[in-house]
Amino acid sequence: MISKTWRKEIARDIISLGSIVFYFLVIGRALVGPFWVFLTFLCSAALVLLLIYFLHKEFESYLARGIILAIGTSYFYGDFIFTLFAAAVYILMVVSSFFLWNSVLKIIKGIIFGLISTGAGYLIVEIFFDKPWY
């Protein structure tokens, strides 16, 4: 049986997949490609999320960034198995957030604001580019 300290550490490690550092790591991957459409999606979704943050600070930002990354990378790679993997990891992030005693309201707001940012990023890409992501 895993001790409480280890469980909390694992939960923090899982939730860190929605950190700003990890988000910039994915942006760096898009730059190396270069995958300009994917980069535009990531940057525009991040800007929308930043605007939301200035208006409303009480949400789980790690989950918001995590869902942007999960949906964005799944769409970018276009692989069903990777999409299942990304969805499973995101579900683990949500469960970890509960485990770390984040309020249900903050978790729900994080998911909703992340989805809004993802949709806005997708729309911005559709407006500026006339080609698919891949």
- Domain residues for the domain of 72 are 4-128
Q: Is 12 part of a structural domain of the chain? A: yes
Tell me which residue has tokens 């509960």: 98
**Residue 88 covered by a domain:** yes
C-alpha to C-alpha distance for 19 and 64, rounded to whole angstroms: 10
pLDDT (0 to 100) of residue 33: 85
134 inside domain: no
pTM of the model: 0.93
Summary mean pLDDT of the chain: 93
Predicted confidence band at 34 (pLDDT cuts at 50, 70, 90)? confident
The Cα 16–Cα 14 span in angstroms is 5
Q: For 40-83, how does the pLDDT look when each residue is reduced to its tens digit (9 = 90+)?
A: 999 999 999 999 999 999 999 999 999 999 999 999 999 999 99
Tell me the pLDDT tens digit for each residue of 8-19: 999 999 999 999
117 in a structural domain: yes
d(CA 100, CA 103): 9
Is there a domain that residue 41 lies in?
yes
In a domain, 133, yes or no: no
User: How many domains, in total, are found in the chain?
Assistant: 1
